[in-house]
Amino acid sequence: MSSSAPPSAPLAARLRNVNKSFGDGGARLQVLKAIDLDVRCGDITMLIGPSGCGKTTLLSIIAGTLGCDEGSGEVTVFGQDLLRMSKGRTTQFRAQSIGFIFQSFNLIPTLTCVENVSVPLLIQGKSTGFAEKRAREVLDQVGLADRMKHRPTQLSGGQQQRVAIARALVHEPRLIICDEPTAALDAKNGTLVMDLFEKVARSPERAVLIVTHDNRIFSHANRIASMDDGRIVELHDVDASHPLPEHLQHGFHA
Ligand SMILES: Nc1ncnc2c1ncn2[C@@H]1O[C@H](COP(=O)(O)OP(=O)(O)O)[C@@H](O)[C@H]1O
Ligand SMILES: [Mg+2]
């Protein structure tokens, strides 16, 4: 754990009164209920809570891939009002500013690791040569130097997860959003990935937001938001004067 961002740190994301429902009429299900959340730059923020409580839905709203209900208050990412941004501008903003690691990895099966990791740079208009050189550097950082030319089906779950992490880091986005980034990783690779995220969050202009069940990584959090049934029910800042609460203290990584 590094020290928390100061209270005045710029916000990567600011959510106020965010509501989200799926379906309508009798089948309407309210999944997010009046969510308020600040994601500070310089922090690793972790979002925890039982399956189905709305964590992935909340990440998708911050990433701009999902809208929220009419009458919601505010979803601001690096000062940009996502609720009032055009679809085209949102796509462009997301490609530049956000690295998203999906729960299901979402790798492209026909592309090699290097090609998969190059995608965000190619979307930004970088040359293939530049993109693949940078992709190789990041694959090396996640311990996959010997798997550059493999395709996703030729990799273990943990290796695929690290390719997805490399793809989220390759264009150095200001906000890294990850849905269960260490679920398929052993202790050694989990630590390697958390060290990379800590490097990102050490920058005062960048932030990491992680959904996790993995109590091995709670010690890396600066802030832990606990969700239940569509609401944030607890918020803990973790630093030298605010240690991790007792009920979140489990065996950390080996
Ligand atoms: N596209 C969708 N349509 C209908 N219901 C959905 C959709 N996405 C999620 N849900 C429902 O919303 C709830 C929260 O889902 P999710 O955000 O994926 O939870 P978590 O990530 O915390 O497990 C679940 O009950 C899920 O079934
Ligand atoms: Mg989920």
Which of 21, 22, 65 maximizes ligand 1 atoms within 8 Å of its Cβ, making it the mutation to test the pocket? 22
Q: How many domains does the chain have?
A: 1
pTM, entire model: 0.91
Q: What is the pLDDT of residues 184-228, one digit of tens each?
A: 888 888 899 999 999 999 999 999 999 998 888 888 999 999 999
Which of 53, 57, 59, 213 maximizes ligand 1 atoms within 8 Å of its Cβ, making it the mutation to test the pocket? 57
Q: Quote the mean pLDDT of the chain.
A: 91
Is residue 106 assigned to a domain? yes
Nearest ligand for residue 50 CA: 1
CATH of the domain at 225: 3.40.50.300
Q: How far is the CA of 53 from the centre of ligand 2 (A)?
A: 8
Domain that holds residue 60: 11-243
Is residue 251 assigned to a domain? no
253 pLDDT band (50/70/90 cuts)? very low
Is residue 114 assigned to a domain? yes
Percent of the chain at pLDDT > 70 equals 95
Question: And the tokens for 7?
Answer: 């209270």
* H-assigned helices in 124-219: 128-141, 157-169, 187-201
Number of Cβ within 10 Å of residue 169's Cβ equals 24
Work out whether strand 223-228 and strand 207-211 pair parallel, antiparallel, or are unpaired.
Answer: unpaired
Is residue 2 assigned to a domain? no
Q: What is the pLDDT of residues 93-108, one digit of tens each?
A: 998 999 999 888 899 9
Out of 68-72, 132-136, 179-183, 244-248, pick the least confident: 244-248
Q: Is 153 in the pocket of ligand 1 (CB under 6 A)?
A: no
Q: What is the pLDDT of residue 240?
A: 75
Is residue 35 assigned to a domain? yes
Percent of the chain at pLDDT > 90 equals 72
Ligand 2 (ion): which residues have CB within 5 A?
Answer: 56
Say if residue 254's pLDDT is above 50. Answer: no
What Å distances lie between residue 198 and 140, 161, 171, 226, 237, CA to CA? 17, 18, 17, 21, 16
Q: How far is the CA of 78 from the centre of ligand 1 (A)?
A: 26
Is residue 253 assigned to a domain? no
Q: How far is the CA of 134 from the centre of ligand 1 (A)?
A: 35
Q: Which has the higher per-residue pLDDT, 123 or 129?
A: 129
Say if residue 22's pLDDT is above 50. Answer: yes
Closest ligand 1 atom to Cα of 49: 22
Single out the residue of 89, 39, 47 nearest to residue 64, CA to CA: 89
Rounded CA-CA distance 213/193 in Å is 16
Is residue 249 assigned to a domain? no
Say if residue 148's pLDDT is above 70. Answer: yes
Q: Is 48 in the pocket of ligand 1 (CB under 6 A)?
A: no
Is residue 127 assigned to a domain? yes
Rounded CA-CA distance 191/223 in Å is 18
Say if residue 6's pLDDT is above 70. Answer: no
Check if the beta carbon of residue 215 is closer than 8 Å to that of residue 221: no
Closest ligand 1 atom to Cα of 179: 21
In the chain, the N- to C-terminal Cα span, in Å, equals 15
Give the SS3 label for residue 31.
strand
Q: Is 52 in the pocket of ligand 1 (CB under 6 A)?
A: yes
Average the pLDDT over 46-66 and give the result: 95
Rounded CA-CA distance 176/165 in Å is 9
Average the pLDDT over 126-152 and give the result: 97
